[in-house]
Every structure is written in C-alpha cells, then in structure tokens.
Amino acid sequence: MRTDEQALVDRLPSLAATEDKYSVRDQLVNFRPEDLADAIQRADFEIGLSVLKKLDAETAAYVLIELPDESAKGILHELPDTTVAHYLDILPMDDALDLREYLQPERFEALLHVIPSEDAQEIRRLLSYPEDSAGQMMTEDFVEVAASTAMADVLDLIRNTNDEEFETVNYIYVLSEDRHLLGLLTLKRVIRSQPSSLARDVMIEDIITVPVTMPEEEVARTLARYGFSAVPVLDERGRMLGIVTADDAQEVLDEAHTEDLLMMGGVTGDAENYLALSPIELVKRRLPWILILFVAEFFTGTVLRFYLGKSADVNPNSALSVLAKLQLFVPLLIGAGGNSGSQVTTTITRALALGDIRTSDWLKVMRREFAVACMIGFALGFLGFLRAYIPYVGWSQPLSLSLVIGVALPGIIIWAATVGSLLPIAAKRIGVDPAVMSAPFISTFVDATGLIIFFEVARFILKFYGLTF
C-alpha cells in the first residue's frame, strides 16, 4: 500500500517528542526506508535528526542511504558511530570513499575498524587510486573463475553464493593464476553451454577494458557506447582489479549532465537535491555567476555610452534623432543574437559532453555553424527589413534604417554562432568545463559585441544617406 507522505511528515514531530525509542520503532516498523527518508527530508532538521536517533542503527543506516547525499552528510556528524558504521558498510564503495571528505580523518579511520575487515581493506585499496578515476569508481565484487572451470561449476558458484557477494552475475570473468583477464562468460552463454564445457572453450576473448586511472566520465561513456552492464578495470600490468557497473556509470553521467545544465543556467556547484540545500548554499551557487554577468553587462552600457555620448557631443540635433530611432531596434537585435548564441553553445556543449565531437573538430564545427548561421541570419534579416520598412503592417521606417536592420541582423547572428561554437571548444581544449561558457555568459557577451556590430553597420550605411551620429 502506498504511504501517505504528508501524513507521515505531519506525524514526525510527535515521534520526535516521544522519549521511548522502542515505541517510535514500533510505530515506524512497517514504513519503507524510502518513505521515511522523504519525510525526514521534508521535516525540520532537528525533528528528522531526533527520529533518526531513535531508530536502531541498521534501520537508520538504510534511511540514510535513501537521503540525498548532501542531507545525509549534514546529519552524519550528529549520529552515533554505530549508525554511521552501518551506513558506511552498506554504502556502495564509490560513495563510501566520498564519505571520507565529510568526516574527520580520525573518525573515518576509527569507523574502518568497526566495519568488516574485508570491506575496510577494500576501501583503503580504492583510496590509493586517483580521485574521480575508474579505480575509485569500481567494485571488487565480481564473479571470477579459472580457465579450467566447467560450466556446471560456474552455475553452482552463482547458485550457492550469497546475493550480496557479487555486484552482478551477468558477466563471469576468466582469470589466469596471476589475475590476468583471459576472457569473459555471459550468464546466457553459461546456461546454454554443456555442463561439462570448460571456460576456456566457451569464453569471449575480445573484451573491452578500461585502465584503473581512466577518468570516471570517460569510463561511463565507454559503458554507454557499447551498451555493457559492466566493464572490467585493469592495472598497468593488465591484471584485473574490479568492475564498473552500468548503474554507477549512469549515475556519473546523470550528475555530469545535471551539473552542465546548472552551469548553463549560471549556477555553480555539484548536482544535489534542491531541498537538501539551505538558502545560504543556494546563494553561494548563484551569486558568483550573477556578479560576473553583472560586471559583464557594464560593457554593454559602455558601448551605448560611447555611441550616444560621442555622437551627441559632435552633432546633437541629427545624432540624437538618428540614435533615438536606432535604439528602438536594440532589443530585437541583441535578443536575436543572444538567443542564437545560446542555442549554439548549448548544442556544442552537449556534443562535447557526449563525445560526439572533439576539440580537433573545431574547424568542421565552425563551417557547419557558419552555414547554419548564414541561412538563419539572412532569413531573419529579410524579415527584419520587411518588418521595419513596410507601411501599416510594419514600422514604416525609412529605407536607410530598414537596410541597417536587414544587414545588422545576419552579421550579429553569424558572430553569435561563431562565438557560441568556438568558446566551449576552447574551454575544453584548455581543460575547463565547456559548460562554463554557459548560455547567460554567451548572451551577455553577444549583447555587448552585437551592439558594436549594429552601430558600426548603421554608421556605414547611414552616411550614404547623409545621416551621421
């Protein structure tokens, strides 16, 4: 039966005020950890913490697993070691490694002495690999057999092993005595083979592997590219160390995708649940880019003041008259340029993230985007000219000003497409996240530079009509 989420949230304050912890446990015994985690997340911090402390260590640990990382890590400092040790023990290994950053080194080391020694040793081994690498992302819980193992024995191994022993049984890895990877057995192939068949005769020898030092996003893209449910991880000598599973890879890709989306919106920080972030955290994530874009907008004002101030001083009568009309078209022009640039940079950033293009493809990208921008720009330029020039249905502007719009629009859009395609590629080339060249940044940059194009086009065309500014 589905839990009434709001009713559970409303019930938590009374449970938090109950001093008998066994009574609280009895009342919550039939609730799933997912539902308890959701209710605790929506309740006040002190109420949620109080309820967690009243639960037994194992139940509290499973509730913590279901909380967003930021919420769970914010609570850990307030919970007893027995609860945190259970939490550490059931965490996936890659998440357990991340926990070290949020706990004091002494406490983390002490917890390693509480959890099973095999798990503690695995955590210590994984910590020796580079951060955000395949080594810290992998698990050592995979099915391995010798080349001389019969298929009947492989099935017995899978059938008689505890469910928690292996991360997945879809793939069975054939290793030599010195742990070199010889081949791969799929569960389907094992089931369909004769029970007496040996692993060496059934295994697949052409295997995709990744080095232990490969960055985690590259590992995730490899899994996504080939559609595997797991990929083996090898050390520099070719010995098998572990596997990275598809669910962990998908989590990495989802987090990277979310961070890119946030960055494109001018928001910094990791991908975290919205409700897990305090108002101060939200300010920290948004204010830096707002300040950068705010300062960047000064350039737009500087451009306007340059043309307005300089022209008005030289010839106040005609200059102000011409500029007053030109300013009517500014929102149309910079809006079109900013939108065009944002479209391009979003498309290129996504293509870079998915590996569809590389930095070496910059010239090919420029050619494509230039062709697209020309077609879009000239189409909009023609429509803009008609809109400005045609009487009654348009703005009934003089031919001179209408030509300015018709020429400036393609120029601004082509420029926006060039900037929007090259900046993310340049960022990737120098090792910066391409999402830094976010839509707000491109839009702000194109606003200012687009104004220069507009006014210079206007100055060039209008002088043939005897108009100056």
Last residue of a domain, one of 239, 263, 287: 263
CATH number at residue 188: 3.10.580.10
Same domain, 10 and 153: no
For the chain, how far is it from start to end, CA to CA, in angstroms?
A: 74
The values of phi and psi at residue 413, to 5°, are -70, -40
Read off the pLDDT of each residue in 410-423 and give the average, rounded to a whole number: 90
Write out the residue range of the structural domain in which residue 451 sits.
279-465
Burial class from Cβ neighbours inside 10 Å (0-12, 13-18, 19+) for residue 57 reads: middle
Tokens of 331: 């929102």
Same domain, 408 and 344: yes
Count of structural domains within the chain: 3
Q: Which residue has the higher pLDDT, 344 or 245?
A: 245
Same domain, 240 and 363: no
Residue 304 lies in a domain: yes
Same domain, 372 and 425: yes
Count other C-beta atoms under 10 Å from residue 115's C-beta. 19
Same domain, 318 and 457: yes
Tokens of 305: 């003041």
pLDDT for 300: 56
Last residue of a domain, one of 208, 234, 263: 263
Q: Which residue has the higher pLDDT, 118 or 171?
A: 171
Q: Which amino acid belongs to residue 160?
A: N
Residues 287-323 pLDDT 10s: 565 555 555 555 555 665 566 555 544 554 455 667 7
CATH number at residue 291: 1.10.357.20
Residues 363-404 pLDDT 10s: 999 998 999 999 998 998 998 898 888 887 677 888 988 999
Same domain, 124 and 192: no
Tokens of 94: 């890659």
Cβ atoms of residues 142 and 167 within 8 Å:
yes
Q: How far apart (Å, rounded) are the C-alpha atoms in residues 161 and 433?
A: 44
Residue 300 lies in a domain: yes
